[in-house]
Structure 1
């Protein structure tokens, strides 16, 4: 049984370096992989990378929406406490 040499996170880091502008030749020399391996990784993991970017964008939107909701509810809570203090 062949042991995998690189974990998925390591492969994604290598592909991110490529997307940032590093040359393929420097990457394959640095990490000791073949050109075919690089292109196989690129074909296999670039799709998941795009999926992860979309998920991250969705999570950021949800975070912003929930932050606004929290701020609004906090303000309303403070107003209600102030009204209670006036009544008492």
Structure 2
């Protein structure tokens, strides 16, 4: 997996910079070129982070970490449940 070149805060700052440049009359391609990113990267970032401030990005990252932790807990509990069910089926009398 490729290393991230920009942090989320940097992405927010660059998005704001590109928005200011486009509002002052520059095209999106020119604004992206001056920021050092491609058009595709800009549109991907705008789709993911559009309209967010730094505090919302931090909150989103916290929620993603919590979601990952909860998914691990659910998968561990599901595995435990399957193991217990198999052992119960094995211990049942066959009659």
TM range (shorter): 0.5 to 0.7
- Using structure 1 for the length normalisation, give the TM-score: 0.52
* Structure 1 portions without partners, runs of 5+: 1-14, 35-43
- Using structure 2 for the length normalisation, give the TM-score: 0.49
State whether structure 2 residue 67 is matched by structure 1 residue 75.
no
Pick from 8, 15, 19 the counterpart of residue 11 of structure 2.
19
* Structure 2 portions without partners, runs of 5+: 1-6, 25-51
Identify the structure with the greater helix proportion: 1
Correspondence list, 1:18-37, <5 A? 18-19=10-11, 27-28=18-19, 29=21, 32-33=22-23
Aligned residue pairs, count = 59
